[in-house]
Structure 1
Amino acid sequence: MWILMVAVALAIDSSSFVNIEVNREIDLTGHYTSVINNIRLENKLQSTVSKYFHAMYKDNVDKLSNIRAYLKDEPHNLLKAEFQEFSGDYAIYKVLVPRGITSKSEANLIIYKVLVPRGITSKSEANLIIEEYFAQKMTPFPKKIGIFDQQLMVFSDSIHYPSPYTTEFSTTIVKFPTSEIESYTKPSDVPYDIKGKSLIYGPSTLIKEFSAIKFQVHYQNPKAIPYFTKVVREIEVSHWGNIAVSEWYTLVNRGAEIKGEFSRLDYSNRYKPTAVNALRSLEAILPRMAWGLYYRDEVGNVSTSHARQHSSYVHLEIEPRFPIMGGWKDTFNIGYNLPTKGFLKQKDNTFALNITFGFPFKEIIAEEMIVKVILPEGSKNIQSILPFDVDKSYFTTVSSFLDFNGKQVLVLEKKNVMDFHRKHFQVVYEAQVNDLIIKPLILSFYVFALLLILIISFRLDLGLEKEVKVKKE
């Protein structure tokens, strides 16, 4: 193992940087785990270095939902971090610093999957912040609880930042949803302390590269752990002034499962807290101009929803027909309409749709998301402009009322979609404005033809009465 680590360090050139100070913050208060590594580093070489390598435990890669980075002074200018290789117990990510870090200068980075373009110049310092977001890294233990029991979670990670570079000073803070901590690792060579809802490890000094000390915590989490296993968002554009948005969700609560059968009598107990990890409602933020909202499930329309319009958005709160207990699933559909004004721009025969990619529910990870943009029939030269990469992008067709060749559908697929992906993207296409009158003309023709057939049928005399009378005479 040590030979492997030395080989990796030599390939990475661990002498290029020194982590002067690393402050890690692990947040366990939400529905997923966030790890923020704030690194102040120094370039030890005589030349500018544009690559900083970030290590991660191999067993965390499958649980990683997002990793990002940016310079602190440029928080909206995200840097690129890309996977490099697996080595031993680690996954290595390469970070490129575009401009470099100059002598005695400072910069701040936050890393998803980041390449820092400017580089880090000789003998200069930079503050590097690495943000990692994990799904299902905290797990319920025990896996099943009674309806009156508290939900306990277990989480494990490294006390030290697992860096391929030497770290001179390090501190790790773990934040919990409550102050009820059942147990935690108490290392003999690392200081530790509990302050309110936080567990602090460190400070530690002179930590060697790839040095790791595992810790585990067992704590109360009185919250649901909702995930969307699949989200399908369908956006249908009509040049008659409307954009119809329909979204289908498959929801699962990954908290501790209920032990035994569910009892409405116990659930409605007024004297004891019951089903602390049940999901009772969801909140969404919709565009201000949304109208015609609906909320349905497999049974039909669900009336337990509330919508309030604010100055800049519509707040939607939905309540399922039943509480979503740990391990339970639910499927539902919400939809609304938007006016094309403000979302669809036109110049001659060129149109540009500007609308959000992600779903409107906060702090939930969608393990798989499919966005379908249905364009008017006859659309061509379709291009999409996205603020991030997607896993798949392709075209298909769908036919509806009075369509001849079907409508073009742009399909975008992406895994592990989070709040960060609730950003606007654009779809640019060309369409003939005169095509708008084709369907009304066709519909008018059908109505005219139907009326003509009815008129002719009323005027025709197909009876045999006269002919029968002549034969009788």
Structure 2
Amino acid sequence: MIVTFNCLQIDLTGSIVKVFLTLKVENAASASDASQVLVAFMPTEVQHLAIVKATRAEGKRKKKAYTPLSVQESDLPTTPNGARLYSVQLSTPLKPGETTTLQVFYVLTHSLDPFPAEISQSESQLVYYRDSAVLLSPYNVLEQVTYIKMPSNRIESFTRVDPTTRAGTELKYGTYNNQMPNTYLPILVHFENNRPFAIVEELVRKVEISHWGNVQITEHYKMKHGGARHKGAFSRSIQLNASWLLTQNFLARLEYQSRPSISGTSSFKNLLARLPPRVHSVYYRDEIGNISSSHLRTDSHKSELEIEPRYPLFGGWHCTFTIGYGLSLQDFLFEADDGRRYINLTFGCPLLDTVVDDLTVKVVLPEGSKNPQPVVPFLAEQHLETSYSYLDVVGRTTVVLKKKNVVGEHNVPFQVHYEFNPIFMLAEPLMLIFAVFLFFVACIAYLHMDLSIGKAS
């Protein structure tokens, strides 16, 4: 296999690194049919690799179509430099002498290192990014070019591997010709990035399904600003005289409100959550109570909830909050051909431009549900547990899905299939009727009882 052309486009405009890779590969004339193409990642990249997608270009010009391909970690031994190999499975084998074009997209989290690690309220945030000027590949690469896109013109420094050119916010490495397999040319880019580094350390989504017509979703967030740590009077960690600290904090807040474009440029004070359409009973609160600083915009296609924490988040600061809302069951519950029911939901986090370090999704099925079977389009830890709510007798079967390093590309539909007998819907009403009946029986018995103390004859 030979890579005749490779174009690597690295997007550093946000807090998450997004890489678009175009590969034009050719199967050697003397080789057998090829059913896979290998893509290599350094061990440091594998630790931060959130998702890998691949498509194959078929057809020409206006008739060109992109076919999704399966990508999985290869069981082949690692390369001499310790790289891990991922296999892109071709939909149709590549015959000897044939060429094809692949589009590979992958996301890296926690790959931008703040430097300096601490900044004051008036300073901009600078970060480091480390990579290779050429694609790390197990194949010969005949021609290659790499583009790196930054969010601003302020680039403090960058490694030069000739030919290297800069045009505004973009760096170009290459074109490089005839690169040997496993070639690695390390580069380091130091640039300004004031985008919000919103990191959800833990998110627990609880989806409660009621066959009486409602789906209730509750999301508990533990969030932090993952950028350069804040130093100065606005910091919580400073240990000074209380009255002086209150004065300085008041002045810092006044400066932040009056000069938001200059003071605290790397902080963020609002978040946008994209919710399903036709939501109802939406609320947003933290440990203290309900927070009124939120705005909900809904239409027939989507719902957007803009929320503001009680205070702006600077580097290293944390906050916890809860979002809850209801949905109509008829929009998400369906019946399969085999007679089983299934709920169609969205995985991932509704907050835009965030990384979730640890995500737990709990789908609480109605009491009496049997044989649940989740269908998730990627690897996720799965297990079952039992939840209890009001008037439950045997408890509700709960499907628990866990995944680490979750990004926006994980916001895709997933299903939970299960069996349910409608007779169980009568359990709670019958219990209420029976409880009311016992109450009236007790009242009648009490009225007919003679509890007075009379004289002994």
Tell whether 2:105 aligns with 1:90.
Answer: no
Distance 1:25 1:346, change over 3 A: closer
Tell whether 2:337 aligns with 1:365.
Answer: no
User: Aligned runs of 1:183-332 on 2, under 5 Å?
Assistant: 183-187=157-161, 190-262=162-234, 263-269=249-255, 270-271=258-259, 273-332=262-321
How far is the alpha carbon of 1:125 from its aligned partner? 1.3
Whichever residue aligns with residue 136 of structure 1, its letter is H
Tell whether 2:99 aligns with 1:125.
Answer: yes
In 1, Cα distance between equivalents of 2:182 and 2:279:
51
How many percent of aligned residue pairs carry the same amino acid?
A: 32
Give the equivalent residue in structure 1 for 2:244.
Answer: none
| TM, length-normalised to structure 1 | 0.87
Tell whether 2:402 aligns with 1:413.
Answer: yes
In 1, Cα distance between equivalents of 2:69 and 2:447:
73
Moved more, 380-389 or 149-158: 380-389
Structure 2: runs of 5+ lacking an equivalent: 59-64, 235-248
Please give the secondary structure, in 1, of the residue aligned with 2:78: strand
In 1, Cα distance between equivalents of 2:312 and 2:67:
39
* 1:150–1:276 contact (8 Å) kept in structure 2: yes
Distance 1:154 1:305, change over 3 A: same
Please give the secondary structure, in 1, of the residue aligned with 2:57: coil
* 2:78–2:85 contact (8 Å) kept in structure 1: no
Aligned residues: 431
Whichever residue aligns with residue 55 of structure 1, its letter is A
Tell whether 2:4 aligns with 1:20.
Answer: yes
User: Once the two structures are superposed, what CA deviation does each residue of 1:150-173 show, in whole Å capped at 9, x if it has no partner?
Assistant: 111111110001112121211111
In 2, Cα distance between equivalents of 1:373 and 1:279:
32
Tell whether 2:418 aligns with 1:429.
Answer: yes
| TM, length-normalised to structure 2 | 0.90
User: Aligned runs of 1:92-111 on 2, under 5 Å?
Assistant: 92-95=84-87
Paired residue for 1:71, among 56, 59, 84?
56
Give the equivalent residue in structure 2 for 1:180.
Answer: 154
Distance 1:21 1:350, change over 3 A: closer
Give the equivalent residue in structure 2 for 1:58.
Answer: 43
In 1, Cα distance between equivalents of 2:74 and 2:335:
40
* 1:53–1:92 contact (8 Å) kept in structure 2: no
Give the equivalent residue in structure 1 for 2:369.
Answer: 379
Whichever residue aligns with residue 118 of structure 1, its letter is T
In 1, Cα distance between equivalents of 2:105 and 2:416:
30
Whichever residue aligns with residue 256 of structure 1, its letter is A
How far is the alpha carbon of 1:300 from its aligned partner? 1.6
How far is the alpha carbon of 1:146 from its aligned partner? 0.5
In 1, Cα distance between equivalents of 2:385 and 2:223:
27
User: Once the two structures are superposed, what CA deviation does each residue of 1:32-84 show, in whole Å capped at 9, x if it has no partner?
Assistant: 11122211121113331123222221222111112221213454623223233
Please give the secondary structure, in 2, of the residue aligned with 1:440: helix
Whichever residue aligns with residue 266 of structure 1, its letter is A
In 1, Cα distance between equivalents of 2:300 and 2:331:
16
In 1, Cα distance between equivalents of 2:79 and 2:310:
49
In 1, Cα distance between equivalents of 2:227 and 2:176:
34
In 2, Cα distance between equivalents of 1:387 and 1:402:
35
Higher RCO (CA < 8 A, seq sep 6+) = 2
Give the equivalent residue in structure 2 for 1:104.
Answer: none
User: Once the two structures are superposed, what CA deviation does each residue of 1:119-159 show, in whole Å capped at 9, x if it has no partner?
Assistant: 21111111223222111111100000000001111111100
